[in-house]
Structure 1
């Protein structure tokens, strides 16, 4: 399968030409150099912002007389640029919306002044909140409030329902030598709880085009988002300030790119490829608008940057992209978000401190695992995620899946210290194997825990469970890299079908998973994509289910009651599931398309389904020590399942 085929389908979802910026994506004729780019810019009235994705002939140009954003393309400047003999092609860059996840207005926020430790407790928090100093535990003032690190039942939580971080720390693993980049609205790197762990060399401001990604202060604290996320990962330990990060000895870098009226494909791509040999993890707590109506994802240059990142980042081991699954609640589906639903990212949902989903959590079959974002007692000062804040302060009310993704990044930083040879796919396998069901449950009882054909337990809301830092570190120390990844276009149905409220559409593809083609054969599944084209009288009323040959059913699209689109539908949209991880892909795959509405006039037209399988040819865990089965019992289960389903190699 050509990679360009994967990259280009998303452009059909872009409302092209509505908003343009004052930047151009410029291709120069070969051979090209920085000097030739500077020459072109000087002779045409532009300036060069940067090279694009390390390509020798691609650059980002800027024109200072053109408005930052406009609904009218700048044809005169565009023509001058195209007329230059060194320019092969140029395109004025479009703008589009991207939203932070988990931000709430100031009246709902909770802040704690910068405290210091003393023998009488923590000033400003009351006698009942005093910390009993224990040399084995951090002495940071807010540590007792960080229930996602150590849940003792505070804020009405469930005791021991946490990330099991203390177990990782007890093994001497604290994130040393690992850098996580926060792609957000900046980082207050002068904050006394962050300054020691700030990696300036790997930081950049793409909003101001300088190396200082400091947040722009506003009265409503809107740009506190990135700083709070950074504190969850790398807040310093035992310094008497705020709390402690999950990987408190790891470094954080700031990639400021959200604080502007419109995002661009080139800025996203530049951030996701920045210093990719030195940045290990990219953490993103943003995405398309979480309104239950939007179907959107990364454009071509961003997809190109992500693909290059997983193939070339970290000196070939692969950049690790962590994504917040979304805050659209039950009315949205994160499979309609092309970032969270990408097989190249690790999509993280959230749970409350008593094991339920938060009201804002989206669900989808592409979610790999969960961390925490809120206590159930949302009105309590203790119930949010404790971390650092702007103006040298602290907060106990960071929340949303924005808070969940950095926690996951912190756990992954611990795993990378334990074993720096872990690749991007290894991290996903570790996540699947070591995440726990624990006390996670769906309070509405709509989504039960299910065991797939490989013996792995999953949930539509929580993925494979809550991350377990202790077990992930233990397994990482003895981890052997998984086999090479292959992909197979397993089959295609290219035919128009009509369906309505009374009659669901059921289609089947019977596949041998490219058994006869050694270059594409898949024997053990990782990700499965269903590229689907379908339109209906109301897009949000469509639901879709994908059933594997081993009987595992994934809801790849849920009801979205706010989505009233009747014209665009889905065109080659890549609905993705991780629920069939480790399964045998051969046999009949079933796609069910139906309406979730009582409107008798609802009707739809289905036109295409392409089934794409991703996975390995050899059993992925054969080389792992049998002693690991005591740490992760489901490893033994899946190995036995694999052994009983042998394939002709």
Structure 2
């Protein structure tokens, strides 16, 4: 009887154990289902319209009601533009959608109405497969035989790993070499230039503004959550990848000498976070982010874009394009907002940054990456829209970027062009501190004239254009140099008015192109001679074209200038099997910067990849030239007095309000920049 009781007891305990396990599993399933539902709600595409109309918010609300929509409110930063959503989750079925569109657009007071559709946007930084490893496994600083060559300038725990700010990991043999692998920022700090007074907004997945290394520089006035339409940009911690924005912000504005994480490039700049990547992304969300507080923000930095998958083709929508144009027109009291953009991580998939309309915008500064060894990284993308380069991670043995991370932590594994763009934004903040009168075009000129090709010269692809500037589609005009940029900025004369000259194709007809049968489209340019917008010195060059083709990824396009400068506008993309072609697509190049546009331009379209039955047509093309009548004054001044460039450092003491220096003053080191080479070239 005793044994039987024990058996029943064991059986009962077993069943209880099974029930507990099942309940626990049920709870887990319920939690997973709730998470899926929550995620679905966050990423479900709403029936959302952006409407521009006359009459103000009262009329907008009334029209929305009559049209069957809820009036959410104004689109941030846009006049007479409003956001409407379907009531109670109601959505038109596809069959009824044309009626909905016509119903909205036919109302008298509505100027236009766009239904918002989600777009794919990816961050250009995370390499998740590296997370399980210790950073020491691929950090040269941890290798035996290396030594520190300089005094510890800051007490921050990761300062020794910020090799891109101070080259302090050379071996004894390397110490004798004059070339360094940093961005030359320490001489700028010696001048007391730290980014103070400059406001930078990171467009990303949020910003952990309570982080010990960021909170002192956090600026709530330039921060916002566009996704949830509130003023709190704190990241959503359920998704670990949402530390991307906090990482980018740390590179720029980590506080110095607080024994936490590292030192930001502009460690006294004000930093804001505009949260817009954590949920549905559409034209309205991008536009609100790009135009948020243009009256306050000096620099916007974006480390994201269309997927770097070797097949995507995407460009800013109607509102986002308008936001960029408004930013350069109205931002910084009319001097123009500065937009810094990561050029892309699709190199391993043969992607081409010419297929990214943000990188190819004339209003953005596209920044590529170089590894610690000065090489083009495996993820880098080539295109003639790249303006300049900063450092990032590269091969497995190369160090990456040190910065802040979620939950008040630090990381030494930030990488990709995501890490390069914020470094550029920080360097530009140093320049704006010494000269707030720089326009958005001045900044682009300064980047071009002061970037250096020498640290990257061992890479293929370098050539000198007809204006004497070194260029490489991998790196733009070279590696950014903070000291040279700040010195040049302190005594800069603004460039003259920007002019635009449009040139139609010489033969206006539908032209055929196919595998093995190349097509050449020519443009006869006189630079709009004899009229008000006559151009003598080029800045950006755009080719707008309409192409129909059976396999878009098989096409290549090259543009040859009258000077003979030839660049690849589009490379073959094996993964792009689209039949959509290019519809009014604008390819952009800065490779001919400073050249004379007059003469014959040639656009060569070829298919050397196949298959043999590929065929298509080019309907029309035009050349859009941007430039000036007068040469940049910077070049003229330096030709007259090129030996006094280094003396400009003395003038900074009168420019900086706070004369206290962070480090002891020392003699300014010599800077041999691209500009120096131009001067020697022109004087020879």
Question: Aligning the two structures, in what range does the TM-score lie when normalised by the shorter sequence?
Answer: 0.7 to 0.9
One of 338, 349, 360 as aligned partner of 2:368: 349
2:329 corresponds to which residue? Answer: 311
Equivalent position to 1:532, from 545, 555, 558: 545
* CA spacing shift, 1:255–1:594, aligned 2, 3 Å: same
Q: Which runs of 5+ in 2 are unaligned?
A: 1-43, 136-141, 646-671
CA distance in 2, matches of 1:452, 1:560: 27
Unpaired runs of 5+ residues, structure 1, are: 1-18, 113-124, 645-649
Report the 3-state secondary structure (helix = DSSP H, G, I; strand = E; otherwise coil) of the residue aligned with 1:94. coil
> In structure 1, what is the equivalent of residue 4 of structure 2?
none
Following TM superposition, by how much is the alpha carbon of 1:490 offset from its aligned partner in structure 2, in angstroms? Answer: 2.3
- The structure-2 alpha-carbon separation of the partners of 1:511 and 1:194, relative to structure 1 and needing over 3 Å to count, comes to same
Q: 1:424 to 1:513 in 2, by over 3 A?
A: same
Distance 1:91 1:238, change over 3 A: same
Alpha carbons 1:53, 1:305 under 8 Å: kept: no
How much does 1:609 deviate?
1.9
Partner of 1:509: 523
Q: Choose the corresponding residue for 2:288, options 270, 278, 286.
A: 270
How far apart are the structure 1 equivalents of 2:644 and 2:90?
Answer: 62
Shift of 1:570: 1.2
Instruction: Deviation per CA, 1:542-601: give whole Å up to 9, x if none.
Output: 111111111111111111111112x21112211111000000110111111112326433
- Measured after TM superposition, the shift of residue 298 of structure 1 is 0.5
CA shift for structure 1 position 281: 0.6
8 Å contact from structure 1 (residues 184, 285) kept in 2:
yes
Q: Which moved more, 1:36-45 or 1:607-616?
A: 36-45
Aligned to 1:298: 316
Q: Tell me by how many angstroms 1:22 deviates.
A: 3.6
Residue of structure 2 equivalent to 1:361: 380
Taking the TM superposition and a 5 Å limit, the aligned residue runs for 1:328-339 are 328-329=346-347, 331-339=350-358
2:456 is paired with a residue whose SS is: coil
1:170 aligns with 190
In structure 1, the partner of 2:128 is: 105
Task: Spell out the pairing of 1:403-442 with structure 2 (5 A cutoff).
Answer: 403-441=419-457
Contact 1:619 1:642 in 2 (8 A): no
Q: Give me the whole-angstrom Cα distance separating, in 1, the residues matched to 2:100 and 2:612.
A: 53
Q: Offset of 1:170 from its aligned partner?
A: 1.7
1:412 & 1:579 partners in 2: Cα distance? 21
Does the Cα contact within 8 Å between 1:151 and 1:162 map onto a contact in 2? yes
- The alpha-carbon deviation at position 269 of structure 1 amounts to 0.7
* Aligned positions of 1:172-251 closer than 5 A: 172-218=192-238, 221-251=240-270
Relative to 1, partners in 2 of residues 1:43 and 1:401: Cα closer, same or farther, differing over 3 Å? same
2:146–2:169 contact (8 Å) kept in structure 1: no
Distance between the aligned counterparts of 2:182 and 2:317, measured in 1?
A: 36
Tell me whether 1:454 sits opposite 2:477 in the alignment: no
Q: TM-score w.r.t. structure 2 length?
A: 0.81
Q: Does 1:51 align with 2:74?
A: yes
Match of 1:396 among 409, 412, 428: 412
Structure 2 distance, partners of 1:131, 1:67, is 65
**Structure 1 residues 500 and 87, CA gap change in structure 2 (3 angstroms):** closer
How far the C-alpha of 1:643 sits from its partner, in A, is 11
Separation (CA, whole Å) in 2 of partners of 1:635 and 1:311:
28
Q: Secondary structure at the match of 1:316?
A: coil
- CA contact 1:164–1:470 (8 Å) conserved in 2: yes
3-state SS of 2:333 partner: helix
Please name the residue that 1:61 is paired with. 84
- More deviation in 614-623 or 543-552? 614-623
When the two chains are superposed, the root-mean-square deviation of aligned CA atoms in Å is: 3.3
Partner of 2:118: 95
SS at match of 1:315: coil
Q: 3-state SS of the aligned residue for 1:335?
A: helix
When residues 126 and 26 of structure 1 are mapped into structure 2, their CA distance, relative to the original with a 3 A threshold, is same
> What does 1:79-158 align with in structure 2 at a 5 Å threshold?
90-105=113-128, 108=131, 134=151, 137-153=153-169
CA deviation profile, 1:341-360 (whole Å, cap 9, x unmatched):
11110000101000111111
Instruction: Give the aligned partner of residue 119 of structure 1.
Output: none
* CA distance in structure 2 between the aligned counterparts of 1:304 and 1:181, rounded to whole angstroms: 19
Residue 509 and residue 89 in structure 1: after superposition, are their counterparts in 2 closer, same or farther (change >3 A)?
closer
Output aligned runs, 1:276-291, within 5 Å. Answer: 276-291=294-309
The answer to which structure has the higher helix fraction is 2
| 1:322 counterpart SS class | strand
**In 2: Cα distance, 1:389 partner to 1:163 partner:** 23
Q: Which residue matches 1:12?
A: none
Secondary structure (helix, strand or coil) at the match of 1:510 reads strand
Greater Rg, structure 1 or structure 2?
Answer: 2
CA positional deviation for 1:74: 7.4
Shift of residue 533, structure 1, vs aligned partner: 2.1
Q: Take 1:628 and 1:59, find their aligned partners in 2: how far apart are those partners?
A: 54
Q: Contact 1:293 / 1:564 at 8 angstroms: preserved in 2? A: yes
The structure-2 alpha-carbon separation of the partners of 1:194 and 1:536, relative to structure 1 and needing over 3 Å to count, comes to same
- Could you tell me how far apart the structure 2 residues matched to 1:505 and 1:82 are? 41
2:287/2:321 contact within 8 Å kept = yes
Alignment check: 8 A CA contact 1:179 1:281 kept: yes
2:586 and 2:453 map into 1 onto residues whose CA distance is 27
Aligned partners of 1:181 and 1:283 also within 8 Å: yes
- CA-CA distance at 1:48 after TM superposition: 4.7
Inter-CA distance 512–63: structure 2 relative to 1 (3 Å threshold): same
TM-fit CA distance, 1:494: 3.0
- Measure, in 2, the Cα distance between the counterparts of 1:69 and 1:224: 37
Cα offset for 1:297?
0.9
> C-alpha offsets along residues 257-286 of structure 1, whole Å, 9 cap, x if unaligned?
0000x3111111111111001100110111
Partner of 2:567: 554
For 2:256, what is the secondary structure of its paired residue?
coil
Instruction: Verify the 8 A CA contact 1:480 1:623 in the aligned structure 2.
Output: no
Contact 1:436 1:468 in 2 (8 A): yes
Counterpart-to-counterpart distance in 2, 1:509 and 1:415: 38
Cα distance in 1 between the residues matched to 2:220 and 2:93: 34
Q: Contact 1:20–1:69 at 8 Å: present in 2 too? A: no
Q: Aligned to 2:53, which of 28, 33, 40?
A: 28
Report the Cα distance in structure 2 between the residues aligned to 1:68 and 1:362, rounded to whole angstroms.
40
Superposition deviation, residue 96 in structure 1: 1.6
Deviations 1:362-421 (A, max 9, x none): 110100001111043x257xx111000001000000111011110110011111001101
The 3 A distance-change label for structure 1 pair 327 and 55 is: closer
